Amino acid sequence: MSIQPQRNRGRPHGSIQPVHRVRRDYRFSQEVLDHIAQGRALISDTSNETAFVEQAIAHYTAFLEGLVQMNQEVERLQAQVRDLEHDLTRTQQALHLAEAKTKQPSQPVPQTRSVAHKPIYQILVRHEPGACSDLPDGYDFLYVQKNEQQCPIHQVFAAACPIDQARLRIEALKQVPGFTRIWLTKNGYGTPQDDWQQKNGAWQRIG
């Protein structure tokens, strides 16, 4: 009894599985057929018409994928441009506002102590009986005790000022002939802060 050699079933080792093709009928126009013929003539590959069309479809698909990526990149760049334009508009508005503020006249620097908060000093005088003495420039008879006919006490100065300025005015009033007493009050007619009286031709401070 002879033994028959066992045959290996299946595909031999190292063989390539053939590409499974699905048959579909496409009807190309004559223009498309001319493009296929021209394309096959440009390459040295001697592939058949079906293989060439498959390669052309794969190439066009890759092109479309790259086109989608390119469109996405364009959209990203366009969004970035819009953001930059928005930032530029805000920067220009801030610049115009700053320029407008610089063109406005500068506001005066407020004084450390407003005049309204300075105390008001009054200077009163008494003169000798008779006609009222002539006042120097910058003074006036502001107040007559009870009525104008009842001399000799008058208020001749009232203003918000430093006390040093008020005392300088007292010194000027001492030169007026006929005055016998000069005194300084603050914010009313209370106790005199400075009280001068003329005795024997000389001024003496009595308060």
Distance of alpha carbon 25 from alpha carbon 129, whole angstroms: 140
**Nearest partner of 121 among 181, 176, 174, 189, judged by Cα:** 189
For the chain, give every domain's residue range. 30-102, 115-205
Which class for 94: exposed (0-12), middle (13-18), buried (19 or more C-beta within 10 A)? exposed
Q: What pLDDT, on a 0 to 100 scale, did the predictor assign at position 78?
A: 87
Q: What pLDDT, on a 0 to 100 scale, did the predictor assign at position 23?
A: 78
Q: What pLDDT, on a 0 to 100 scale, did the predictor assign at position 46?
A: 61
Q: What pLDDT, on a 0 to 100 scale, did the predictor assign at position 4?
A: 55
Q: What pLDDT, on a 0 to 100 scale, did the predictor assign at position 13?
A: 57
**Nearest partner of 178 among 140, 136, 142, 133, judged by Cα:** 133
**Nearest partner of 56 among 70, 42, 71, 72, judged by Cα:** 42
Which class for 118: exposed (0-12), middle (13-18), buried (19 or more C-beta within 10 A)? middle
How far lies 188's CA from each of 121, 173, 203, 204, 205, in Å? 8, 20, 24, 23, 20
Q: What pLDDT, on a 0 to 100 scale, did the predictor assign at position 45?
A: 63
Distance of alpha carbon 163 from alpha carbon 155, whole angstroms: 17
Q: What pLDDT, on a 0 to 100 scale, did the predictor assign at position 19?
A: 62
| DSSP line for 35-71 | HHHHHHHHSS----HHHHHHHHHHHHHHHHHHHHHHH
Per-residue pLDDT of the chain (207 residues; tens, 9 = 90+): 455 555 555 555 555 566 677 777 888 889 988 888 888 887 766 668 888 888 888 888 888 888 778 878 888 888 888 888 888 888 888 888 888 777 766 565 555 555 556 788 888 888 888 788 788 888 887 765 555 555 778 888 888 888 888 888 888 888 888 888 888 888 876 678 888 888 888 898 887
Q: What pLDDT, on a 0 to 100 scale, did the predictor assign at position 148?
A: 53
